[in-house]
């Protein structure tokens, strides 16, 4: 697949950001978030309406007026955003293949090719010249197209970005179909730093360079595994701690369990020298605090962590899933008191994040993995006026030992995006649990 860049420009907010909002301080959770750009790519089928980038730019400008930090620049010395309206980057490109050919290869897709559809390198963050939001619109030879949105994890999580994209799509769709450009997005709150003040904690290091991701350089590969609804039901049954129990673990925890077990087995199972491992799972806190943090800009998650030592034969699936579920439950329970405890809640969060960073650096931890679920997020609602996306994907983010789960469009199955270094991936796909998953594809 060959991608040709046609143009590159900055889209500024339609209205200037007021002086009172020019300085946006990031929160404690923003501080520890990885210094990476997170890509999300939306794919749309060919239709009788040509891709109108003019209307996309105009609607983007309108929505940036509300989501003003995305048009600013990050100041790493002060852990803040200068909301100077420099703008979000907008790239236009054309692709020499048909969209159908790309989508038909999904089960055997070399994920790194998707990185040609994103507008900036994953690791190009933290410099004042780096846009905090970048978009690439790629037109395929058949008339289909992809809209890739990269946002800096320094200031936004997936929930914030998807809300932004859906607001943009709604404004763009209304403008395209009816000429109405008066759509006003929902109001948003930009005071996360007041709720969870920063404390100059270091971020989770990505280990990435600022250059374009190249497999031969990073030697880290991403592979997509598809789990059907029936396969997930089977895994949930196997993951029960007590076979007599009527309650199964959740579909997300069960899938994390089966994939995490194989990853840990590959790394640390050793009959003569059992080794320690740590797994961190992000837990969205927006709907779990009291009161709920609706329309809150930024990173708002807790890190549920499991630390243990693998046995001679690795880890047992029921025990591992139970530990994952228990760690998430503890995080959810903490969510309910974070705001009501005020200063004590802030201290609790600070202590937990500080301990997490220390734990991952301990010498006895021989494997550290990061799990994130995109399930239940409204990824497939972004209709820019040409219908909803055929597929929503990530790209190859060369941070090893990560798993991202995404609902299939049908809602029943799950796509698991697993990233490992090349040698570990070869061992991973030959693990008996993974062979079982692959045999059912």
Q: Is residue 203 part of a domain?
A: no
**3-state DSSP call for residue 85?**
coil
> Do 276 and 134 sit in the same domain of this protein?
no
**186's tokens:** 């929902």
d(CA 232, CA 242): 18
pLDDT greater than 60 at residue 387: yes
Full domain range(s) for residue 118: 3-195
**Weakest-pLDDT range from 17-31, 185-199, 221-235:** 185-199
Q: Is residue 343 part of a domain?
A: yes
What is the CATH number for 18?
3.30.559.10
pLDDT tier at 439, thresholds 50, 70, 90: low
Q: Helix H segments across 301-415?
A: 317-338, 343-360
> Do 251 and 358 sit in the same domain of this protein?
yes
pLDDT greater than 90 at residue 83: yes
**Across residues 291-299, what is the average pLDDT?**
91
Q: What is the pLDDT of residues 85-108, one digit of tens each?
A: 999 999 999 999 999 999 988 878
Q: Is residue 62 part of a domain?
A: yes
Q: What is the pLDDT of residues 129-160, one digit of tens each?
A: 999 999 999 999 888 999 999 999 999 999 99
pLDDT greater than 70 at residue 245: no
pLDDT tier at 66, thresholds 50, 70, 90: very high
> Do 322 and 385 sit in the same domain of this protein?
yes
d(CA 215, CA 421): 9
So which residues are the catalytic ones? 153, 383
Q: Is residue 206 part of a domain?
A: no
> Do 268 and 401 sit in the same domain of this protein?
yes
pLDDT greater than 70 at residue 421: yes
Q: What is the pTM of this model?
A: 0.93
**357's tokens:** 């960073």
pLDDT of residue 274: 73
| Neighbour count for residue 242 (Cβ, 10 Å) | 9
**Across residues 260-265, what is the average pLDDT?**
93
**Across residues 70-94, what is the average pLDDT?**
95
> Do 56 and 115 sit in the same domain of this protein?
yes
| Neighbour count for residue 289 (Cβ, 10 Å) | 20
Query: What is the sign, positive or negative, of the torsion defined by CA atoms of 226, 229, 234, 235?
Result: positive
pLDDT greater than 90 at residue 250: yes
Q: Token match 């200037």: residue?
A: 16
Q: Token match 């087995």: residue?
A: 265
Q: Is residue 93 part of a domain?
A: yes
d(CA 400, CA 422): 9
Say if residues 159 and 42 touch (Cβ distance below 8 Å): no
pLDDT of residue 288: 87
d(CA 385, CA 49): 9
Q: What is the pLDDT of residues 176-205, one digit of tens each?
A: 777 666 666 678 999 999 988 988 888 877
User: What percent of the chain clears pLDDT 90, i.e. is strictly above it?
Assistant: 57
Average pLDDT, the chain: 88
**3-state DSSP call for residue 435?**
helix
* Closest by CA position to 67, among listed 192, 181, 168, 153: 168
Say if residues 424 and 267 touch (Cβ distance below 8 Å): yes
Give strand ranges (E) for 246-335.
276-284, 301-309
**Across residues 4-16, what is the average pLDDT?**
95
């Amino acid at each position: 697949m060959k991608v040709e860049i046609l143009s590159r420009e900055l889209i500024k907010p339609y209205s200037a950001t007021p002086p009172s909002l020019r300085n946006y301080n990031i929160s404690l959770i923003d501080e520890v978030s990885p210094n990476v750009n997170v890509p999300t790519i939306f794919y749309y089928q060919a239709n009788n309406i040509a891709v109108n980038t003019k209307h996309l730019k105009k609607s983007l400008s309108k929505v940036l007026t509300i989501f003003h930090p995305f048009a600013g620049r990050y100041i790493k010395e002060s852990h803040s955003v200068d909301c100077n309206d420099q703008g979000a980057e907008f790239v236009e490109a054309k692709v020499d293949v048909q969209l159908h050919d790309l989508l038909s290869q999904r089960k055997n897709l070399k994920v790194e090719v998707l990185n040609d559809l994103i507008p900036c390198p994953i690791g190009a963050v933290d410099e004042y010249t780096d846009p905090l939001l970048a978009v690439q619109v790629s037109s395929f030879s058949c008339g289909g197209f992809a809209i890739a949105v990269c946002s800096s994890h320094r200031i936004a999580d997936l929930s914030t970005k998807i809300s932004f994209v859906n607001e943009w799509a709604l404004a763009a769709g209304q403008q395209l179909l009816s000429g109405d450009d008066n759509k006003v997005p929902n109001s948003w709150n930009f005071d996360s730093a007041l709720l969870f003040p920063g404390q100059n904690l270091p971020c989770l290091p990505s280990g990435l360079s600022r250059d374009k991701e190249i497999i031969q350089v990073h030697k880290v590969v991403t592979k997509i595994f598809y789990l059907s609804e029936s396969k997930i039901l089977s895994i949930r049954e196997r993951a029960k701690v007590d076979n007599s129990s009527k309650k199964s673990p959740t579909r997300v925890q069960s899938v994390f369990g089966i994939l995490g077990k194989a990853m840990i087995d590959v790394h640390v199972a050793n009959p003569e020298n059992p080794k320690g491992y740590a797994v961190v799972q992000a837990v969205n806190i927006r709907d779990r605090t009291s009161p709920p943090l609706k329309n809150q800009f930024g990173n708002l998650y807790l890190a549920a962590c499991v630390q243990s030592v693998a046995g001679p034969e690795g880890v047992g699936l029921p025990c591992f899933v139970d530990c994952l579920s228990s760690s998430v439950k503890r995080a959810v329970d903490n969510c309910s008191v974070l705001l009501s405890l005020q200063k004590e809640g802030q201290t609790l969060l600070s202590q937990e994040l500080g301990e997490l960073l220390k734990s991952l650096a301990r010498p006895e931890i021989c494997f550290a993995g990061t799990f994130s679920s995109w399930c239940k997020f409204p990824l497939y609602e972004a209709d820019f006026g040409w219908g909803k996306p055929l597929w929503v994907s990530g790209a190859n983010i060369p941070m090893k030992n990560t798993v991202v789960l995404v609902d299939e469009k049908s809602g029943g199955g799950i796509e698991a995006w697993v990233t490992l270094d090349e040698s570990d991936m070869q061992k991973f796909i030959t693990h008996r649990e993974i062979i079982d998953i692959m045999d059912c594809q």
